[in-house]
Amino acid sequence: MKLHQMGIAEVFARLNTSRNGLRENEVQERLLDFGLNEIKKSEKKNYLWEYFSQYAQFFAILLEVAAVLSFVADYYAPDEGNNILGWAIVCAVVINATFTFWQEYKADKAMEALLRLMPSYIKVVRNCKEQEIESRYIVPGDIMVLEEGDKISADAILIEANSLFVNMSTLNGESTPALRIAEPETSCERELEADNIVFAGTSVISGNGLGVVYATADGTEFGKIATLTRDVQKTLTPMQKEIMRITQILTLIAVIMGVIFFVLGYFSNKGILMAAIFALSLIVANVPEGLLPTITLSLSLASQRMARRNALVKNLDSVETLGSATVICTDKTGTLTRNEMTLKEVFLASGETVTLSGEGYFESGGFQLQQVSNHSLERLKHFMRVATLNTHAHIEHEKLFGDPTELAIIVAGKKIPHDINGFNKINEIPFTSERKMMSSFYEKENVSYLFAKGAVEIILNKCTDYLNDHGLEALSDEKKANFLAVAESYEARAFRVLAVAEGQDEKEENLTFLGFVAIMDLPRAEVYEAIQHCYEAGIRVMMITGDSPGTAKAIGQMIGLKIDKIITGDQLRRLGEEELMDELKQSDILFARMESSQKLLIASLLQSNGEVVAMTGDGVNDAPALRKADIGISMGIAGTEVTKEAADMILLDDNFSSIVSAIEEGRTVYFNIKKFVTYILSSNVPEIVPYILQFFLKIPLPLSVIQILSIDLGSDMIPGLALGSEKPEENIMKRQPVGKSERILDWEVFKRGYFMNGIFEAMAAMFGFMAFLYLHGWQYGDLSINQSLLHRQAMTMTLLGAVFCQLLNVWTLRSYEFSAFSMGFFKNKLLLIAMVIEFVWIYMLLYVEPVQRIFNTAPVPPGDLLILLPFPIMLFLTHEFYKYKKRRKSLLK
């Protein structure tokens, strides 16, 4: 037997306490036995340590070694610009480390938000006296005093309760205050459902009571949520893994090439220093220094676009993870539905059906009545009068007051004009969950009226007749069964049905049945389309709701949800995990009558199945599941502070279709990153090839290291960013989700970057260099021109060869699939700005002296620049032709 099922005396005995409370020495002993009533926070991070550890990453170490070598080279061979190179690399390292740190170590405030729900002080009875103590000193066996407005700090069995209402939303998401009683709940098995328990983290709305504490700290239900929120292990996002992988691969290539050419240089009698400088140059040429900042900036631009579409992304990596989402687990109320009750139909006892238009509380609308006689409208008006007079709800200045179901009746009353003048309210019998009905007593011109509404079966049992076309008629059992059958047909379609009746007695007896209203929290209009988009995009949608299977199924069908199976919370508890994993793999499941805590299990098992899970939530109890999911999505309007802190993304309008928009943006970001990685790799080839050729041929250095950095951290950055902000391609939501095994840096990226566009760029660079030298009288093998004006001009040609090619490369890479001409010239404004900046940059390299000094460039006659012109055009046309062939191939498939 559980404590909440026992009588008060037994509870006292089991907890070794009494109504007079514990004695001070007992409290001290129990504090040692059970510990303080505190929930441990996450271990504090040492931010300074974390920041400096970024400098110990493999990629960073590589660049640091390169910087040191540059300074060493500058010491032995000053005035060759190696010190500038060293400082440029140091800057790249600092920028990369700061970006990574900023990404990974943002303060985790979910626990702080949770702990704010716990009170600092609480009243207890100890040694027969009521006293206020710090809530962390409360122990099992303490008698807790509960008063209106109190926050509760431990789980307790109630021994006294006077109209005690508690806000339990932190634990079960229900915003309606729950009535608590002090009677043993003998038939209730589960603690969370027992009405004689109050839980830590909840608060007293009204009334007062006394409770005997039986669990403190992480032993409480709230403690479990907090522990899970703190401890749930989140795996690295696909983007984090991908960045690690890309840097590892590119660094490995860089190091291998560096080592090979260092060895070759050493054995070809270039000397250790020259060989080291040469190897260093190759490494710098290979390492994409600008990659990380560009990705971060691109993600941050995407997150701004998402915010404009009502999805506020907290964690930048989540932007890309959204694009990989394969399953969306969504709540029903407020996300798929409007969270506004709407009275859609009125069924009059005389058989007429009235359909109302306009959804929610603020949309205007009218009604359509299927008349059976001339008196139908009169009866409808009378029905609405009875229904609206028997409510508490009201709407003032667009502010809502009262129960949502009653608000729906009030709104319907505005759509069906009726007269309520002259009615004076005398009395009322309120609604209770036991009675399942409420009645109001009115008087008009000395005549008393009783207006009643409530559950259909309850009201019908109190009715003796009903109002039909000819007046009052006795309510036979057969007729009653007919009315019940009609009501059930509405309930099967997810409507909440309320019967309306009237009488003239003071008792709720011998009533006249007038009909009933069918009210529903209607699905949001845009959800159907959004769900179909998900299916087209290969994303499964699973509804997880606390509602009954019938209601959930009906709503599911209305919004076009695929439902292979319905699993309830109870069934889930009994199901083996392997069995559930199989079900989750094969079927589209609707989860009904679920507890929020079960979301965590569903998220874990879906992840074990290899799915990328997006999970929505609003209550505090959803926080662990949001943490666990690959993308935790909190509701912006209905969500609590805790869920918002625990989530990766906040839906500002609580609307499911905003998730789908966010996924579209996420996918766009993935493909955009792929595009600019290709773009960055393309410029690596003209940076590497000149070094290799210089090693094997008797030519002066075609490109200096500082010029390489001017490409990587200068001219490539803004066009790269512009590629990152490309708009979604038209078929983005018709593609399958990005698989876990799919990589940004795949063979296609290498092929297009290194072996297609990169080769043209290398050709442009080297042809420009060699042609310029030959045109100006240079003889093969003459190395005496080193650092002369001619050499600097030729190096400028090499640099511009790469930069010119990148100018058109960025246009053709705007889509991996579609023609550049179909992408719309003015659609990407950042790209146009990038073009202007690029031309200004080229002008500066050619004609501004301080820039020339830093980057070792010199003015080149404009006529000579024409030598470079064919290469960007060839690059552009070849890549366009390649895309065309690819499109044709996929069309034939």
Instruction: Give the interface with another protein as residue ranges (CB under 8 A).
Output: 1-4, 13-16, 25-26, 29-30, 32-35, 140-141, 191, 214-215, 217-219, 223-224, 227-228, 231-233, 235, 573, 576-578, 585, 597, 600-601, 604, 608-610, 624, 628, 740-741
CA distances to 410, 542, 602, 610 from 591, in Å: 33, 7, 10, 20
Nearest distance from C-beta of residue 627 to another protein, angstroms: 10
Inter-helix orientation angle 789-812/870-892, to 10°? 20
Q: Which of 142, 317, 331, 716 is catalytic?
A: 331
560 vs 747: CA distance, rounded Å? 39
| Contact residues for 31 (Cβ-Cβ < 8 A; gap 6+) | 137, 139
140 vs 323, beta carbon nearer another protein: 140
366 vs 610, beta carbon nearer another protein: 610
382 vs 628, beta carbon nearer another protein: 628
394 vs 740, beta carbon nearer another protein: 740
545 vs 173: CA distance, rounded Å? 11
17 vs 857, beta carbon nearer another protein: 17
Nearest distance from C-beta of residue 885 to another protein, angstroms: 32
**205 in helix, strand or coil?**
strand
34 vs 87, beta carbon nearer another protein: 34
| Cα radius of gyration rounded to whole Å, the chain | 36
Please measure the distance between the N-terminal and C-terminal CA atoms of the chain and give it in whole angstroms: 66
Nearest distance from C-beta of residue 671 to another protein, angstroms: 22
Nearest distance from C-beta of residue 62 to another protein, angstroms: 22
Q: How far out from the chain centre does Cα 730 lie? A: 23
Question: How does DSSP assign 547-576, residue by residue?
Answer: S-HHHHHHHHHHTT---SEEEEHHHHHHS-
577 vs 730, beta carbon nearer another protein: 577
Nearest distance from C-beta of residue 222 to another protein, angstroms: 12
Specify whether 231 is catalytic: no
Reported as half-sphere exposure (CB side, CA atoms, 13 A), residue 19 has a value of: 7
Tokens 């992480």, residue? 218
Residue 798 buriedness (CB in 10 A; 0-12 / 13-18 / 19+): buried
Phi and psi, residue 284, nearest 5°: -60, -40
Tokens 């190759």, residue? 282
CA nearest 380: which of 351, 359, 410, 341?
A: 351
Q: What is the dihedral of CA 96, 99, 105, 108, to 10 degrees?
A: -170
179 vs 475: CA distance, rounded Å? 36
Inter-helix orientation angle 717-724/656-696, to 10°? 150
Amino acid letter, residue 790? L
CA distances to 244, 279, 289, 760 from 238, in Å: 10, 33, 21, 32
Nearest distance from C-beta of residue 215 to another protein, angstroms: 5
Nearest distance from C-beta of residue 230 to another protein, angstroms: 8
145 vs 605, beta carbon nearer another protein: 605
Which residues are designated catalytic? 331
